[in-house]
Structure 1
Amino acid sequence: MSDNSLPDEIISEILSPALKVSDDVFSDNSGVSPFSKYSESTSAYLLVCKSWLRVATPLLYSVVILRSKAQAKALGLVLANNKLLGQFIRKLRVEGGYGPPMRTILQSSPHISDLFISFMVYSSDSTDGMCQGLPLVNPTRLILRDERKQLLNKMSSKLTDALATTIPKWDRLVVFDCPYIQESIRADKIARSFAKSQRLHTLYLPKASAVGWAWPELKKCPLRTIHVKKPHEFYEFLPSDPEVQSLLRFPAAAPKAASKAEIPDFAPSLNPSFVPMQSASKEVYEMLCARILYFAMSVEGLMDDSSLRVPKRLPLLLISKTFYRVGLPHYYTHTLLKNTSAVSKFASALSKHPWVAPHVRILNGVADPVWGDAKSALTLASNVSADSALVASVLSQTTALVRVSCHKRSFHREAWDQQLAETTIAWDAFAAMAQCSGGCLREFALKVETRQHASVAPFGKLSALTVLDWNSETVFDDLKSTDPDALSSLEELRITRTSQSFLSALRLMKLDSLRCVALTNTVLAPEKFLMMHGHKLTELDLPYLTVPKLGISIFEMCPNLVFVSFFGYPSSGDPPEADDFYAPQAMPSLTKIVFNMSYWTRNKEHFAGWEEFITNFDDEDSFPNLREIQFKCCTWPTTERDIGKSFWVRWAEMLLERNINLTDKAGKNWRPRLKVA
């Protein structure tokens, strides 16, 4: 782009949305700073070309946010060398003390109208520069940030005294955004300084309960409005003084979501006996009604994602006999069976309306019922054999099933520990399902009751199955009859519980489509299975404590992995060692490693082990294209003090030197901050 391609005014309009900081975000004095999110700096826009640099510089400097000593030092040097840049600063947010450079910054910024000051200053953070620079500016709005449990140290006290002394000298200061809910030494000292100047006309308070202490202190000021940031709660006391009542302004309450959709008020028909589509044939009328109910019952959405909230569909069937007849197949397309009673009712419905059975596509259990399992500690069926036969009968009639799974259950990597209660079906029911729906069933994720002698034949019927969550310790005793083409479409396999005979049966199958495997810590000795099928896998999920127990490297058994996830508890065993993740040859395919842990260890020895693992992890030779290591328990610090102490930051910067990003549970990577030389 040449310098003369666009007028500066047009470029300014283009860049303004990207460089603008909204006033609500700038003035946010709640607990966590809205600027603690780590993203690309907006200053990158200035590097595009000279015309963008020229136009964007005033926009960039109009609102300045300082969150570290290094940023303050850098800005101080820039303003000392270029006095013009300080003229652009209109809003300044300072989230710490930041030492001597603050005097230079305030001295070089004579046009500051909005000043944000934080009292969250620790004793190691000098406020001398800030105290010396406050008399050099003259803002119209002052915004303070403080914690409920205030930091009372030498530096914060010096800043409080300097601010209380300077406020009466600021003859333009008329707006005050106060963070205090109740009286305190600091709050009273600042309020008295405003009362002394008697220029304040707009006051912002965090809650209505703060009015009780603020009004007696500030009622001498010529206040015009008192804005309360949160709606008034019934338990919050307000002064009865009519003067303060007339000044209060509360935000509008958020509109409550309507529990039911509003029904439009149509004018009454001129013909009370009007019948819609009276002239249409019965076939056309029913076809149109069926199509309407298809969308009203969210059939397509539930087919794509069965974890969606199921809308209330029964009232739609009760509109008319026609709606009942044509809507019944859609009603049962996605069926949620909450307990054995629901199974019985569903079986009765199929017996009464057998033509509905071929329309059933999805059967979902929930987290706690048992379908014909005599050994469950949760629910004991009164007649186990009858219940098992009932479930088998249902699965025999529903010949077009696509998904049979546990309601709202993740396939892998997210819900490893939520195994306390599981929907269980009998082995005979599983065999019946495979026999009748094997050609169309794509996903199965229920627990199957253990049987000591079973046949592998049902797996040969599941030709369309792509996702299998196997949770059964059933023993197979006819392995020689295993069909090598069984489970030919299987892409994702999760094994929660199993027997060695099931793993042996899998080794005898080709499983040409298999790409993702997830194993829990109850799966013992998976080496032979991984040696047989590991070369096909692109994703692997297993406990990291299993890795040292394997007789061979997982990367030797699975040389084509793109993604590998290790889950477990940091305190449940020894941390991993770098040698356990050795790859005998380079793996250019691997790009991401995940450690899926819900919390972090406080054990010093375990922590030291993880530190050693990160330090000694060999990635350059073994994993040349590894670009991300994710810790699901990682939380990035939000303040300069916490950043300085964070081992996550230390590890992230260590890995960045090897061109690897360390990411948190949301996949957000650390961005190195400016450092003091």
Structure 2
Amino acid sequence: MPESLPYEIISEILSPLLKVPDDLFANNRPTSPFAQYAKPSTSAYLVVCKKWLLAATPLLYNVVVLRSQAQAEALAKVLGEHNGLGKHIRKLRVEGGYGDAMLTILASAPNITDLLLSMEIWGGNSTDGLCEGLPLVNPRRLIMHEGRLARTSKMVTNLVDELAKAIAGPWTKLTSFISPYARDSERGRQIFRALEKANRLSELVVLQEEALMWVYPIVKKCPLESVGYLERRWWWRERNAPPKDPALVQLIQNYEKLHPRLPLLRNADLVSPSEVPKAVWFTPMENVPSEIREDIWSRILRFALAMPERDWDASNTSRYVFRPESERLRRLGYLRVCKMFYRLGRPHYFEDITLGSDRESTAKLDELLSGSDMQPHIKTLYATNYRTRHFTWDLFEKLLDTTGSSLLECGVDVGTYIMPRSLFGVDKKPEPPAPPPIIDARVLFSKMPNLRRLRWDCKVEFRTPESDEEDGGELARLEALWIRGTSPTFLDALINARLPLLKTLYMTTNTVNYAPFLTVHGPVLTSLHISLSILDEMWALPPDRSSKRLSSLCPNVVELVVTWPQQQRAAPPRNAFLSYEHRADIPALPRSRRRSHGSAASTSVVAAPDVPASAFDSLKKLCLVVDWFPHERAKLEAWANYLLQFDTSETPALEEVSLPVLSWPTTEREIGRSSFVKAAEKLLEQGGTHRRSEKSTPQVAWPSMPLVKKLPLRPHLGAQSRVTATRRA
């Protein structure tokens, strides 16, 4: 099929796939938009067949983005071997100096119309080739890029000087300039003076609106046709802003006609009631029987009022408990349309209920559970409390008695009594409460037959089963369980309970022993979310207790998510996923089991156990959920050392290690100096050469997982081939 298509049609098909949007090419923000890890290379389209190669090559070279020295050298080599290839280059983005290779590139690309030059150049990156090659091109548009800090090295100074000479001299076609300078600076004035001297500038774009105050007086004598800015002035600064030149106002309006932007609400035009067109009254389904009409509207409102499932993985409690106020107002808006919408929408509105920590909220829930017709429609209920617990066990039992059969998701912080408060908000010393009743788990579970997700935070005591064979009840549809706070008797009750569909477990409290529970229900778990303190403790168990290790209790876990407790914020794990000699908590071993290095009088007690440790044979994804990442050098080095010492011997099937809060480097220099990139490469090497199965097939595929904000393969900044090396990394 591809061989039968003419070149023109193939070119039209491939053009959208190989096109680089101009807003990305001309982006001169501090972080390059091309600093991405997960974006696949577009050069794959060229290897389909020879016809596609010939049709796509001009499209591929139309926009060239250089982000590394290796890319520049590869492109220079390709252009040197193929003389006519550089004529296809129309837009060139250079994010560095790249030495003598730039002279060859600029000499081979005489048709460049858009040129972006970055001033974020470090001392070891030569700009000699770039300086010599600037007079060889004649662009129509120039975009300058500055990093977060202006570099003042000799290489950058030479480049700015040569750039100013080219603007004022041989660049006779230059009519458009995009400036990165928001504040007045000598480097910026040098460029604008060159533009003033050339007197050819017709379009000017600055980074911020305030920059026009010092830029426009320099270039106002140029034949300007439009002037624009990328960022608006903050509204509170407009009051004290000096009046603009009328000519400048007209130039800004000309730019906004060509590049319209969304208007601010405060500047929206007011329309008088007389100008509003009269609505044409129309009643949908007017001639349809009322039963059918209401059934259709009820289905529509069910989707309109539906709420997405809460994300338990959110680090902030308010993100998965409380719904945004905008969502509540949006849902209420449907009920206020008409009486029919109110009547049909109320059951769907009460499917998802969220309560705060005030007494009024629990009082309203008590009233709703007492005599409302909305009880059977409640499917999701969340309630959280701060300092005082207003959601009592009696109210929780009332909830289950009235809505238990319809309840699908429940997450409440249940207390046994209400703590009184003083007039000034200071907790009074409560009276000794009456001992709460001992709960029978079988009765409690029978009231929640359809429950799918349970977030448990309650210290009430449960009746201890008399024997392991005793029937503990059943939660037939429970898929996810979050143990946030509990008494040990609740886990004892769950041991004898039947949980046939349980696949996900959240263990965030370290006040109980999970080993007996995991011994019974651990083999069915596929997703485990565990607190770091619990994981470190279970990982450091001695070899004679290997049956109590997490990998033995949960052998079928595919996804492991580690959460950080408040008292251990931003610190790397002490024991988890470290080899025996790198763990902080090493159990004492008998002297006969210790390795002796050197003489018999050696005092080293660090020894690897003779018994092989159990492994997570099914674990494929590991996610380290840290609330925030430290900026101190010592803590960053601790994290880098941890990742460098990361041991994959107990995770033979691991494919992905995710650290969402980690900000990956975006430039060639930062990538080369980053310890985290080195750790990622080491992990990739370990994964690619790790143990094989009995059929001699690799169990891991690390190199196929270069994902954003995860431990990816180093962004390829070198040349894979003569074609791919010329495009962005």
Q: Tell me the TM-score normalized by structure 1.
A: 0.80
Q: CA RMSD in A?
A: 3.8
Match of 1:7 in 2: 6
Q: Is the 8 Å Cα contact of residues 231 and 250 (structure 1) preserved in structure 2?
A: no
The number of equivalent residue pairs is: 616
1:487 aligns with 2:495: no
Match of 2:663 in 1: 635
Match of 1:557 in 2: 553
Q: Deviations over 1:5-44 (max 9, x none)?
A: 2111111111111111122211111222111122212122
- The 2-side partners of 1:278 and 1:146 are apart by 63
Q: Is the 8 Å Cα contact of residues 99 and 125 (structure 2) preserved in structure 1?
A: yes
Q: Is the 8 Å Cα contact of residues 479 and 505 (structure 1) preserved in structure 2?
A: yes
- Supply the AA of the counterpart residue of 1:245: V
1:547 aligned to which of 512, 535, 540: 535
- Pairwise mapping of residues 263-282 of structure 1 onto structure 2 (< 5 A)? 265-267=278-280
- Supply the AA of the counterpart residue of 2:126: S
Q: Tell me the TM-score normalized by structure 2.
A: 0.75
1:397 aligns with 2:402: yes
- The 1-side partners of 2:227 and 2:634 are apart by 55
Distance 1:286 1:317, change over 3 A: farther
Distance 1:354 1:138, change over 3 A: closer
- The 1-side partners of 2:73 and 2:344 are apart by 73
Match of 1:43 in 2: 43
- The 2-side partners of 1:268 and 1:573 are apart by 66
- Supply the AA of the counterpart residue of 1:116: L
Q: Is the 8 Å Cα contact of residues 66 and 72 (structure 1) preserved in structure 2?
A: yes
- Supply the AA of the counterpart residue of 1:254: L
- The 1-side partners of 2:281 and 2:118 are apart by 63
What is the SS of the residue equivalent to 1:629?
Answer: strand
Q: Is the 8 Å Cα contact of residues 392 and 428 (structure 1) preserved in structure 2?
A: no
Distance 1:557 1:232, change over 3 A: closer
- Pairwise mapping of residues 171-570 of structure 1 onto structure 2 (< 5 A)? 171-231=172-232, 235=237, 237=241, 240-248=244-252, 249-251=254-256, 252-255=260-263, 265-267=278-280, 285=290, 288-289=293-294, 291-292=296-297, 295-296=300-301, 298=303, 301-302=306-307, 309-311=327-329, 328-338=346-356, 339-348=358-367, 351=370, 354-365=372-383, 367-368=384-385, 377-378=387-388, 389=394, 392-393=397-398, 395-398=400-403, 400-403=405-408, 405-406=410-411, 423-426=412-415, 451=436, 453-461=438-446, 462-480=448-466, 483-550=471-538, 551=541, 552=546, 553-568=549-564, 569-570=569-570
Match of 1:28 in 2: 27
- Supply the AA of the counterpart residue of 2:262: A
- The 2-side partners of 1:325 and 1:177 are apart by 57
- The 1-side partners of 2:19 and 2:670 are apart by 28
Gaps of 5+ in 1: 270-274, 369-375, 407-422, 430-448
- Supply the AA of the counterpart residue of 1:635: S
What is the SS of the residue equivalent to 1:247?
Answer: helix
- The 1-side partners of 2:42 and 2:656 are apart by 24
Query: RCO higher in 1 or 2 (8 Å CA, sep ≥ 6)?
Result: 2
2:621 aligned to which of 578, 581, 592: 592
Q: Deviations over 1:89-128 (max 9, x none)?
A: 1111111111121111111111111111111112222111
CA displacement at 1:362 relative to structure 2 = 3.4
CA displacement at 1:143 relative to structure 2 = 1.0
- The 2-side partners of 1:340 and 1:608 are apart by 48
CA displacement at 1:195 relative to structure 2 = 1.6
CA displacement at 1:172 relative to structure 2 = 1.6
- The 2-side partners of 1:79 and 1:632 are apart by 40
Distance 1:566 1:390, change over 3 A: closer
Q: Deviations over 1:407-429 (max 9, x none)?
A: xxxxxxxxxxxxxxxx5335699
Q: Is the 8 Å Cα contact of residues 463 and 487 (structure 1) preserved in structure 2?
A: yes
- Supply the AA of the counterpart residue of 1:561: V
- The 1-side partners of 2:26 and 2:200 are apart by 21
Distance 1:276 1:653, change over 3 A: closer
Greater shift in the superposed pair: 213-222 or 392-401: 392-401
Match of 2:589 in 1: none
- The 2-side partners of 1:404 and 1:492 are apart by 10
Distance 1:313 1:290, change over 3 A: farther
- The 2-side partners of 1:450 and 1:653 are apart by 58
Q: Is the 8 Å Cα contact of residues 635 and 665 (structure 1) preserved in structure 2?
A: no
Q: Is the 8 Å Cα contact of residues 560 and 622 (structure 2) preserved in structure 1?
A: yes
- The 2-side partners of 1:75 and 1:579 are apart by 44
Distance 1:488 1:355, change over 3 A: closer
CA displacement at 1:242 relative to structure 2 = 3.6
Q: Is the 8 Å Cα contact of residues 450 and 474 (structure 1) preserved in structure 2?
A: no
Q: Deviations over 1:342-378 (max 9, x none)?
A: 3434544565x5544333333343x44xxxxxxx734
Greater shift in the superposed pair: 21-30 or 565-574: 565-574
Greater shift in the superposed pair: 112-121 or 250-259: 250-259
Q: Is the 8 Å Cα contact of residues 334 and 341 (structure 2) preserved in structure 1?
A: yes
Q: Deviations over 1:192-218 (max 9, x none)?
A: 112222222222222332222122211
CA displacement at 1:336 relative to structure 2 = 4.0
Match of 2:672 in 1: 644
Q: Deviations over 1:229-284 (max 9, x none)?
A: 3446663546644433332345344146899xx99833479xxxxx999998xxx5
Q: Deviations over 1:172-229 (max 9, x none)?
A: 2121112222321111111111222222222222233222212221123222222333
Q: Is the 8 Å Cα contact of residues 480 and 504 (structure 2) preserved in structure 1?
A: yes
Distance 1:81 1:160, change over 3 A: same
Greater shift in the superposed pair: 600-609 or 151-160: 600-609
- Supply the AA of the counterpart residue of 1:518: Y
- The 2-side partners of 1:166 and 1:177 are apart by 16
Q: Is the 8 Å Cα contact of residues 634 and 665 (structure 1) preserved in structure 2?
A: no
CA displacement at 1:163 relative to structure 2 = 0.9
- Supply the AA of the counterpart residue of 1:631: L
CA displacement at 1:666 relative to structure 2 = 5.5
- The 2-side partners of 1:295 and 1:279 are apart by 19
Q: Deviations over 1:599-627 (max 9, x none)?
A: 335677766665555445443x6444321
Match of 1:130 in 2: 130
CA displacement at 1:459 relative to structure 2 = 4.0
What is the SS of the residue equivalent to 1:483?
Answer: coil
- The 2-side partners of 1:342 and 1:598 are apart by 30
1:655 aligns with 2:665: no
What is the SS of the residue equivalent to 1:35?
Answer: coil
Distance 1:510 1:330, change over 3 A: closer
- The 1-side partners of 2:286 and 2:77 are apart by 83
- Supply the AA of the counterpart residue of 1:650: K
What is the SS of the residue equivalent to 2:164?
Answer: helix
- The 2-side partners of 1:567 and 1:57 are apart by 48
Q: Is the 8 Å Cα contact of residues 89 and 112 (structure 1) preserved in structure 2?
A: yes
Q: Is the 8 Å Cα contact of residues 80 and 104 (structure 2) preserved in structure 1?
A: yes
CA displacement at 1:512 relative to structure 2 = 3.0
